[in-house]
């Protein structure tokens, strides 16, 4: 493992090379979900077209939950958002596609009216559809038609994301696989990166808390739709049964393992700690695939308050990440799955401090550099983080 001097970060030579030729940019893999990387991704595509985004698919809140329950499918909302974040908006028609994918049906509207609006989209008469050039318009209309054909009469369209409906239509048409429809829209919208769900199944995230409470469903953990947890997380796992919630062992797909093995940098980025980062590591074989890749692995702890990290210091987060990535296999050492923790001790707001002695024992190096700007505080500024990641790749 190469040890980096913070004085050599960012590396202006690498940044200039990547920006000049993003087609040959580094393969940086992000384990994530949610919106924490939105700003970073929109900057990233100017330096590399080869980033890889492994997205959690256990979201059980909002309109994603309605689709998941109706069709027993993985969540598509975060996949849809990441595709749009990586789309090249300079390509003709892509801004119109972005607007359509981001559009949501009125939460207060009558469902009959929304069914009619969906029909207008399928026929091409809706203002958002009419702006999109062919062949993309025709492909979108076909996918919406496929969704409508599979939709039950009482399906609640209120608040539904059109992008999610489009992806669902493709998922159902392609024998319940997301990858084919993701690939179609990635090519047509010139998505500058690869986006894949961690699993292609209808599974749920379970969190056991220290006070004995068991939460079944990602939305109960994040503190966004319900009150934040009142006791710290003891353990998280995946289940295929929401009622009895036994631990379910799901094996990493060969496609995902292959992607992990071929990247230049693995990043556990800021975001909801358990539901966005650790959830990806719960899939059997992910940690082993990470350990077999000799490229650098870096953790970017969130600044500010993460409700999921109640009672966790920043060092606790590092230890938990290493433990989940190791998946209980004694042959996988800490340094096999994590090499660097990047923090901004001067400007960032973290719970506790990193234990340098313990990090050294684990074979992990701390990189302390500016990540938080006056404008972004207390959050990380993607314009400061991006050069760091590119320099480590």
Query: What band does 62 get if pLDDT is binned at 50, 70 and 90?
Result: confident
Q: What is the pLDDT of residue 39?
A: 92
166 closest CA partner among 187, 184, 152, 153: 184
Residue 313 has pLDDT above 50, yes or no: yes
pLDDT tens digit sequence for 138-153: 999 999 999 999 999 9
Least reliable range by pLDDT among 61-70, 125-134, 182-191, 232-241: 61-70
Domain layout of the chain by residue ranges: 6-56+200-392, 63-197
Q: For a pLDDT cut of 90, what percent of the chain falls above it?
A: 88
Average pLDDT taken over every residue of the chain = 94
Q: pLDDT tens-digit profile of 336-392?
A: 999 999 999 999 999 999 999 999 999 999 999 999 999 999 999 999 999 999 999
Neighbours of 385 (CB within 10 A): 25
Biggest CA-to-CA distance, the chain:
64
**Which range (90-99, 210-219, 295-304, 359-368) has the least confidence?**
90-99
Neighbours of 366 (CB within 10 A): 16
Could you report the per-residue pLDDT of 176-192, keeping only the tens digit for each? 999 999 999 999 889 99
Does position 108 have pLDDT exceeding 50, yes or no? yes
pTM of the complete model: 0.95
* Residue-wise pLDDT tens digits, 87-98: 999 888 899 999
**What are the b/e assignments for 234-262, b being 16+ CB within 10 Å?**
eebbbbeeeeebeebebebbeebbebbee
Share of the chain above pLDDT 70, in %: 98
47-70 mean pLDDT: 92
What is 6-56+200-392's CATH topology? Answer: Rossmann fold (3.40.50)
Binned at pLDDT 50, 70 and 90, residue 204 comes out as very high
CA pair distance 345, 326, nearest whole angstrom: 27
Q: How far apart are CA 290 and CA 136, in angstroms?
A: 36
pLDDT at 232: 97
pLDDT at 287 over 80: yes
**Is the Cβ–Cβ distance between 198 and 283 less than 8 Å?**
yes
pLDDT at 241: 93
Looking at residue 1, its pLDDT comes to 47
Which structure tokens are listed for 392? 């480590």
**Span 156-165, mean pLDDT?**
95
Cα gap 160→59, rounded to integer Å:
15
Confidence of residue 2 (pLDDT cuts 50, 70, 90): low
pLDDT for position 35 = 82
pLDDT above 70: residue 6: no
For residue 380, give every residue at least 6 positions away whose Cβ sits within 8 Å of its Cβ, in sequence order, or none: 270, 300, 302, 303, 344, 348, 371, 372
Pair 368, 345: CB distance under 8 Å? yes
Tell me what the mean pLDDT of segment 66-79 comes to: 94
């Amino acid at each position: 493992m190469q040890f980096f001097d913070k004085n050599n970060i960012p590396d202006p030579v690498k940044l200039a090379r990547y920006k000049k030729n993003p087609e040959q940019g580094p393969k940086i893999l992000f384990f994530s979900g949610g919106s924490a990387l939105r700003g970073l991704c929109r900057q990233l595509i100017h330096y590399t077209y080869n980033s890889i985004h492994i997205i959690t698919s256990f979201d059980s809140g909002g309109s994603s939950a309605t689709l998941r329950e109706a069709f027993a499918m993985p969540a598509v909302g975060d996949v849809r958002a990441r595709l749009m974040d990586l789309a090249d908006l300079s390509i003709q028609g892509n801004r119109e596609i972005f607007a359509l994918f981001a559009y949501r049906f009125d939460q207060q509207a009558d469902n009959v009216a929304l069914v009619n609006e969906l029909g207008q989209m399928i026929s091409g008469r809706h203002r958002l559809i009419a702006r999109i050039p062919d062949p993309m318009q025709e492909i979108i209309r076909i996918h919406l038609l496929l969704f409508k054909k599979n939709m039950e009469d009482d399906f609640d369209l209120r608040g539904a994301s059109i992008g999610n409906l489009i992806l669902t239509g493709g998922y159902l048409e392609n024998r319940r696989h997301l990858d084919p429809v993701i690939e179609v829209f990635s090519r047509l919208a010139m998505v500058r990166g690869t986006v894949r769900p961690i699993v292609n199944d209808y599974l749920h995230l379970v969190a056991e808390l220290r006070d004995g409470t068991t939460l079944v469903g990602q939305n109960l953990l994040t503190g966004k739709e319900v009150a934040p947890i009142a006791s710290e997380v003891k353990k998280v796992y995946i289940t295929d049964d929401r009622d009895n919630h036994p631990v379910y062992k799901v094996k990493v797909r060969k496609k995902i393992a292959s992607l992990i093995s071929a990247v230049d940098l693995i990043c556990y980025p800021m975001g909801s700690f358990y539901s966005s980062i650790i959830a990806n590591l719960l899939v059997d074989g992910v940690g082993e695939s990470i350990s077999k890749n000799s490229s650098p692995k870096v953790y970017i702890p969130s600044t500010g308050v993460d409700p999921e990290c109640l009672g966790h210091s920043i060092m606790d987060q590092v230890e938990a990440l290493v433990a989940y990535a190791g998946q209980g296999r004694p042959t996988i050492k800490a340094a096999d799955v994590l090499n660097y923790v990047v923090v901004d001790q001067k400007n960032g707001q973290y719970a506790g401090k990193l234990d340098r002695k313990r990090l050294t024992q684990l074979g992990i190096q701390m990189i302390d550099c500016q990540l938080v700007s006056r404008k972004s505080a207390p959050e990380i500024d993607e314009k400061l983080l991006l050069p760091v990641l590119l320099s480590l790749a």
